[in-house]
Amino acid sequence: MSQTFSRRMNFLSRVTIFGAVFIVGAVALTIMEIVRSPYLTEAGVVRLQPVPFSHKHHVGDIGIDCRYCHSSVEQSAFAGIPSTKTCMNCHSQIWSDSPELEPVRASFRNNTSIEWTRVNALPDYVYFDHSIHLAKGVGCVTCHGQVDAMPLMWRENSLSMEWCLECHRNPARYIRPREQVFALHWQPPAGQQDFGQKLAATYKIISTEKLTNCSTCHR
């Protein structure tokens, strides 16, 4: 009895199956890389603002403390955007005629807000509280990077759920003494894991199960 298909078809079918699996895997990996890329996360992408505010100048060169502008960061879920009056405390006397600062002066004259572009924005379905993270020893640099080296502001990290969970699963790796939360150049000790575990106990960060529960961030 003759065969309907030659033995060569066995080889072709195997090649086709393995080729299909390879292609599907390659497509999946490509999609994952795209999702993690700056094209979608905007990590490392400078966001243009109505006023070219430089953290490098104000924080790095002059030494202004984060809390001078982000005054609610220790008590509120939001870090807060400084009012125009805060800017004018200095700029009514310094660079008071600079064309680049005209939007600030106009905002102050007209009692209108400057429409800043959000840099570190989370989806509406994500709950994030700045105050609790600071109280538990998470430094500004951990999330926002070395802002004192940023002439214009960019998002340092992806802010993806995967990135957040990396810390929530092992907070001891990232936390620091509370008095060092705003220190931009604090360096962790050699034994950060053991040091962090002691801080976690002191700051009552006990249950990583609770930190990784969906309802902690999605309320």
Per-residue three-class SS string for 15-78: HHHHHHHHHHHHHHHHHHHHHHCHHHHCECCECCCCCCCCHHHHHHHCCCCHHHHCCCCCCCCC
At 155 the three-state DSSP class reads: strand
Residue 49 lies in a domain: no
Q: Is the dihedral of CA 71, 76, 138, 200 positive or negative?
A: positive
Q: How far apart are CA 48 and CA 39, in angstroms?
A: 16
Condensed to tens digits (0 to 9), the pLDDT of residues 36-88 reads 667 677 889 999 999 999 999 999 999 999 999 999 999 999 998 999 999 99
Find the distance separating the first CA and the last CA of the chain, reported in whole Å. Answer: 68
> What confidence score (pLDDT) does residue 4 get?
60
93 and 146 fall within a common domain: no
> What confidence score (pLDDT) does residue 119 get?
94
| Structure-block tokens of residue 111 | 């009692």
17 and 72 fall within a common domain: no
148 and 71 fall within a common domain: yes
Residue 63 lies in a domain: yes
Residue 42 lies in a domain: no
175 and 202 fall within a common domain: yes
> What confidence score (pLDDT) does residue 19 get?
77
> What confidence score (pLDDT) does residue 42 get?
85
Condensed to tens digits (0 to 9), the pLDDT of residues 130-188 reads 999 999 999 999 999 999 999 999 999 999 999 999 999 999 999 999 999 999 999 99
Number of domains in the chain: 3
Place of tokens 């603002």: 49
- Compute the mean pLDDT over every residue in the chain, rounded to the nearest whole number: 90
147 and 207 fall within a common domain: yes
66 and 167 fall within a common domain: yes
Look up the pTM and report it. 0.81
Q: How far apart are CA 85 and CA 70, in angstroms?
A: 13
99 and 197 fall within a common domain: no
* Radius of gyration for the alpha carbons in the chain, expressed in angstroms and rounded: 25
71 and 89 fall within a common domain: no
Domain of 146, in residue numbers: 55-81+119-217
Q: What is the DSSP letter of 154?
A: B
